[in-house]
Amino acid sequence: VNEVIRMQSGKLCSPGASVFLAGSPVMFPNLKIPKLLEDAGIHVAADELCTSERILAGVPLFEDNSEFAMLRALAEQSHLGCSCPTYADNKRRLDNIMAVMRDRNISGLILHILKGCHPYDICSFKMEQVLRENGFHFLRIETDQSREDSKSLLLRLEAFSAVIQ
């Protein structure tokens, strides 16, 4: 760990474009999107990914100390922490995203959609409309876990970065 810290000391986040990353899960071993964002000089300033919201959903709130109350609180924590358009109040979700983008001075959102992830695919059209109406830039990326489209995605990300800088 100390060696990595020494190697990274003095290296700060690049002054490139800052974006909000939303959408389908990004998790090991499929790190294609984060790698491409880094290669394009894009900094992810905030995210609302399917995988991160449940991890940070908050502390479960128990009504009492019974087994039923504890299991219910854990189930509610997992369900309520999910930002999937299937379960979430999408108007509130979009309002929250735009509030974070305004607070952090982020001008663009990249919506990552894994092929076959229909909830994010379907909600992308309304999300794009609302964000553009509110003055934000929007890029929809539909991909899979293969590396075959990496060059074309990198080109699109570089162009998006140029637009929002």
pLDDT more than 90, % of the chain:
44
Question: 80: pLDDT confidence band, cut at 50, 70 and 90?
Answer: low
Residue 38 lies in a domain: yes
Task: Give the domain range for residue 29.
Answer: 15-55+84-164
In sequence order, which residues have a C-beta less than 8 Å from that of residue 150 and are 6 or more positions away?
32, 36
Query: Cα(8)–Cα(10) distance, rounded to whole angstroms?
Result: 6
**Mean pLDDT score, 116-123:** 82
Buried b (16+ CB within 10 A) or exposed e, 123-162: bbeebbebbeeeebbbbbbbbeeeeeeeeebeebbbebbe
CA nearest to 154, candidates 143, 99, 165, 164: 143
Task: With respect to residue 72, please indicate whether it lies within any of the assigned structural domains.
Answer: no
**pLDDT tens string 83-107:** 666 656 678 888 989 999 999 999 9
**Count of structural domains within the chain:** 1
Assign residue 28 the CATH number of its domain. 3.40.50.11900
Per-residue pLDDT at 82: 58
Q: Does residue 96 fall inside a structural domain?
A: yes
Of 41-45, 64-68, 150-154, the poorest mean pLDDT is in: 64-68
Q: How high does pLDDT run on average in the chain?
A: 83
Are β-strands 42-49 and 137-143 bridged in parallel, bridged antiparallel, or unpaired?
Answer: unpaired
| Inside any domain, residue 156 | yes
pLDDT band at 37 (very low <50, low <70, confident <90, very high): very high
Indicate whether 74 belongs to any domain.
Answer: no
* Alpha-carbon separation of residue 112 from 10, 26, 37, 47, 64 (angstroms): 31, 9, 11, 11, 40
